[in-house]
């Protein structure tokens, strides 16, 4: 976050998301403000809270993609949830506090993966030593002989060391990959326990795994594996021994509290448009009321400890087709002070989406078919026609945004993808006439239910 200015964040997002400059600027400023907050003295740092954002726009315009790419850009714990999955506390369904527990789990897994990378080299060295021990399988009684001293014993140790180094070199050269070897691994004996509660097992905030690890001793089990299989297993086991679980938990909790991003999609589905006292209030108005303390800042009990949500950044999004942001309860509206409206996508945006992003659909399909030895070339005139047809379909039928391009591209390349293994012509140029011929039906048929994603 220190090296990324808001302008650079927007430039990075431009590589994957076309348009929507207002939304990009809003999230870029929010991320930069996090770094600025960390530079403040402690007496004011805790008072600076994130300015949560609500994105308003139809489906397929890039709301989720902006949030996901942003989280990847700054290595922040990121969780996407659907607001419609939750119910008011006391009713069947997930309660909103589980959002924070899931965010902490994401953070723990992220930090743990980073720690495993740092100890990977040492874990590989330790695994190699254990493999050499198994390959050299000493006869019984050697342990006693090692304690003896004398010229003969010294000569034997030197001989064993030389043999070990020869085996090490052959092991590194891959000479023993298919050779069977016996390794000793720890086997956990953990009983299966089911806990039934109104909010699920995550509500209890108790780490049963550590409890059972202390109660039930681990047994050593001998496994017969090939060297390549044993290496993978031993590297994992050695890496687990080297990482500091307490440090991982501590860092993950800090990262979740200070860098966590929660993306609440379909927020418009919990807007209360019904008359008070009628309708599914427990999964609409009830969810909004339960979200208030989470977004404002409260303490949530997790299996790793108590987590404060004061500095978690919440980004909400919704299409608001049948409701308006003003239909949300006023208290919830106040907790999202920044509102950005994302624009509908037209043929010009579709044209840029097909050409500019690093992961554009044209590049994806070209890469997929290249695995069959097929070289696909999309001419500019063909891309223009694809964008025009996609925009026309959105205008005449349901507007599903950029997802319409997936519909159109799949239909365009359906026959080529099917025949690819048998095609003799390995170079195919997609021009405007081919696009019109292949997509003639999709452009004329009003019933596109089988193609709408």
| DSSP per-residue letters across 296-350 | H--EEEETTEEEE-TT-EEEEEE--SSS-GGGS-HHHHHT--EEEEPPPP-HHHH
| 347-440: CATH architecture | Orthogonal Bundle (1.10)
Backbone torsions φ then ψ of 188, nearest 5 degrees = -80, 135
CB-based contacts of 48, cutoff 8 Å, min separation 6: 33, 37, 40
Q: Is the pLDDT of residue 157 over 60?
A: yes
Quick one: tokens of 269? 């589905």
**H/E element holding 244?**
none
> Given this model, what pLDDT does residue 71 score?
80
Could you state, in order of their start, the residue ranges of all structural domains in the chain? 6-113+252-341, 120-137+154-242, 347-440
pLDDT digits 0-9 by tens, 262-299: 988 888 887 765 544 444 455 567 788 888 888 888 88
**pTM of the prediction?**
0.75
Give the residue, 89 or 225, on which the prediction is more confident: 225
Handedness of CA 370, 374, 375, 379 (dihedral sign): negative
Burial environment of residue 362 by CB neighbours within 10 A (0 to 12, 13 to 18, 19 or more): buried
Helix, strand and coil percent figures for the chain, each rounded to 5: 55, 15, 30
Mind listing the pLDDT tens digit for each residue in 255-267? 999 889 998 888 8
For the cut 90, the answer to whether the pLDDT of residue 253 exceeds it is yes
The C-alpha angle 119, 109, 310, rounded to 5 degrees, equals 125
Q: How does DSSP assign 253-287, residue by residue? A: HHHHHHH-EEEEE-GGGG---SPTT-S-GGGTHHH
Helix 347-355, helix 403-412: angle, nearest 10: 70
The CATH number, out of the four listed (3.40.630.30, 3.40.50.1110, 3.20.20.70, 3.40.50.300), of the domain defined by the range 6-113+252-341: 3.40.50.300
How far apart are alpha carbons 345 and 78 in whole angstroms? Answer: 26
Instruction: Provide the 3-class DSSP secondary structure of residue 178.
Output: coil
Indicate whether 147 pLDDT > 70.
no
Provide the pLDDT for residue 192.
46
């Amino acid at each position: 976050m220190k090296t990324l200015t808001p302008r650079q964040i927007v430039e990075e997002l431009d590589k994957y998301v076309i348009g929507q400059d207002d939304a990009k600027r809003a999230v870029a400023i929010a991320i930069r403000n996090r770094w600025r907050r960390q530079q403040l003295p402690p007496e004011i740092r805790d008072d600076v809270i994130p300015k949560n954002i609500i994105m308003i726009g139809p489906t397929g315009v890039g709301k989720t993609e902006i949030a996901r790419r942003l989280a990847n850009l700054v290595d922040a714990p990121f969780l996407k949830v659907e607001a419609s999955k939750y119910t008011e506390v006391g009713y069947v369904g997930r309660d909103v506090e589980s959002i924070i527990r899931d965010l902490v789990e994401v953070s723990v897994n992220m930090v743990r993966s980073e720690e495993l990378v740092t100890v990977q080299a040492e874990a590989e060295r330790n695994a190699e030593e254990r493999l050499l021990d198994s390959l050299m399988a000493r006869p019984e009684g050697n342990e006693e002989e090692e304690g003896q001293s004398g010229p003969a014993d010294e000569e034997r140790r030197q001989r064993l060391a030389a043999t070990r180094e020869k085996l090490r070199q052959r092991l590194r050269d891959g000479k023993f990959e298919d050779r069977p070897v016996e390794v000793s691994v720890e086997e956990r004996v953990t009983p299966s326990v089911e806990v039934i509660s109104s909010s699920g097992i995550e509500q209890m905030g108790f780490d049963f795994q550590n409890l059972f690890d202390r109660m039930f001793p681990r047994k050593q089990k001998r496994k017969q594996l090939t060297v390549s299989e044993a290496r993978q297993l031993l590297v994992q086991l050695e890496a687990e021994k080297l990482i500091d679980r307490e440090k991982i938990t501590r860092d993950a909790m800090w990262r979740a509290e200070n860098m966590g991003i929660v993306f609440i999609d379909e927020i418009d589905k919990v807007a209360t448009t019904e008359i008070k006292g009628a309708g599914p209030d427990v999964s609409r108005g009830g969810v909004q009321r339960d979200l208030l303390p989470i977004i404002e800042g409260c303490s949530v009990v997790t299996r790793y400890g108590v987590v404060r949500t004061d500095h978690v950044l919440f980004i909400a999004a919704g299409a608001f087709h049948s409701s308006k942001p003003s239909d949300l309860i006023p208290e919830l509206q106040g907790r999202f002070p920044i509102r950005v409206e994302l624009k509908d996508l037209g043929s010009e945006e579709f044209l840029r989406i097909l050409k500019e992003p690093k992961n554009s659909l044209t590049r994806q399909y070209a890469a997929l078919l290249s695995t069959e030895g097929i070289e696909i070339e999309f001419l500019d005139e063909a891309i223009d026609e694809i964008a025009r047809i996609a925009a026309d379909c959105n205008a005449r039928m349901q507007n599903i945004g950029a997802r319409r391009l997936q519909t159109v591209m799949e239909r365009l390349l359906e026959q080529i993808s099917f025949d690819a293994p048998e095609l003799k012509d390995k170079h195919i140029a997609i021009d405007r006439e081919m696009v019109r011929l292949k997509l003639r039906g999709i452009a004329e048929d009003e019933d596109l239910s089988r193609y709408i994603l």
